[in-house]
A = this chain, B = another copy of it.
Amino acid sequence: MVSKQPDPHPEIPDEIDGLRMTKQRKEIYHILMEYRDHPTASEVYMRAKERLPSISQATVYNCLQALVQHQIIRQVNFERESSRYCPNLREHVHFHDSATGAIHDVDFKPGFQLNELLQLPEGVQVEDIEITLRGKLPQSS
């Protein structure tokens, strides 16, 4: 007779946007929210194993994909590297610090318009924008 363990992440609802938030999905979502450092799937896997030692890589990929498809997190790609995952749902840009490898979120200024920047042909419907920057931060950021 084993009593049910308390939910380790009570702040995460049991369902988001129609997606049942299982123990594994909650843990993975929590991991992304904790540091927001854009980890790869295998970094998520290593962190998840600490609380859920029996979790598998396949489950990490499954969960990340489910969260992405339900627009609870975003998948971020840079060049040909492993995908990274980001829980920031605001429209934003990714800045890769070429010195440290860290990835930082950068917001748009309010009221930005893409056609102020680009010579877009008349009538195009832009459904998605992805902007990535690479560069250096001023020292000791």
How many whole Å from A123's CB to the nearest CB in chain B?
4
User: Copy number in this complex?
Assistant: 2
A contact residues, total (Cβ < 8 Å): 37
Asked, given contacts A83-B80, A131-B129, whether A116 binds B124 with beta carbons under 8 Å apart, the answer is no
Binds B, one of A3-11, A25-33, A51-59, A101-109: A101-109
Complex formed: what's the CA distance from A120 to B97 in Å? Answer: 13
Complex formed: what's the CA distance from A140 to B85 in Å? Answer: 37
Complex formed: what's the CA distance from A80 to B130 in Å? Answer: 13
Instruction: Decide: B138 and A124 in contact? CB cutoff 8 A.
Output: yes
When the two chains form the complex, which single residue of B79, B119, B141 contacts A109, counting CB atoms closer than 8 Å?
A: B119
Q: A126-B135, A128-B135 are in contact. List 12 more A-B contacts (CB 8 A).
A: A77-B79, A108-B119, A109-B117, A112-B116, A112-B117, A117-B117, A124-B137, A124-B138, A125-B136, A127-B136, A129-B132, A130-B132
Footprint of B on A, CB under 8 Å? 77, 79-80, 83, 93, 95, 98, 106-109, 112, 114, 116-138, 141
